[in-house]
Structure 1
């Protein structure tokens, strides 16, 4: 549960997750996606599989992230919903997009009829971290499959947050088995 002392510096922010129409994506298998339509709204925390054609229409199989990790763990079958490909957007990292400050509402305004871009925010600037998916700078690269299981705390003058791999987080929710947590420097975490 100790903090990795070899990487105390803060790297540049991870890229924003930009929604790309599923019909333009090459490989959808296990991709994180957004579902929705103009005038209705948007759902996140979904996974897709490769599109299929039903009655001449391109459809994308979708499951919740919880069902995805249940299937990955071999703990039962996941049943997908087939939705029109035109309502599905793949979340793709867009290099060089950085992270704006969360700040004022005017800076966060968007088009409600288009899937929103998910910009990373430094975990140090975001309240209520427990349960949030984060980018974690570890071993010299960003990983986007971690969840926070604590709020910020202090260890020997450094601010940290306890995190677990997302797969273990979903297993914990499903089975009650506690995951192996690790302490991460807060400057190595960005929320999604």
Structure 2
């Protein structure tokens, strides 16, 4: 891949519905976070974690992968705050923003989104009629715009509405590479986790 890309993993949520930190849930002998970082490392030459705990926990947990860990500026204020917090630490012009509760992420979608982003600010998948602002691709320039909007705007979808050039990708395109759309199935509750372990969602 000729274009340089960074990957950001949002791992700073409170996991209220799960009752425990989703990043460290076990799945096939690894944690969700280990699984996702391993996948992203195949596609990205920089991985940044957005967190609200001691960074050393994540650095030790993810060895031998090299990751940059950034604490949120405003803890537990949501994903847009996390994007604001990491935006100036990103070195590459393109950024894939992932979430730590989707261990079945298909990393090959990164190649597809990179091939079509062209002059757009973002590639936004639409799955089951809903826009998916995470596990997708943005330009670094679009992320830097957050600081001019936050905290008046705290919603990812509101931020995306402020971007001038957004390419919407329908689910049929995604299904060519991820037939069951598992990249966009989050594990948010104990019931979701049990279903993942038993049936793979």
Q: Higher Cα Rg: structure 1 or 2? A: 1
Structure with the larger strand share: 1
TM-score normalised by the chain length of structure 2: 0.26
TM-score by length of structure 1 reads: 0.27
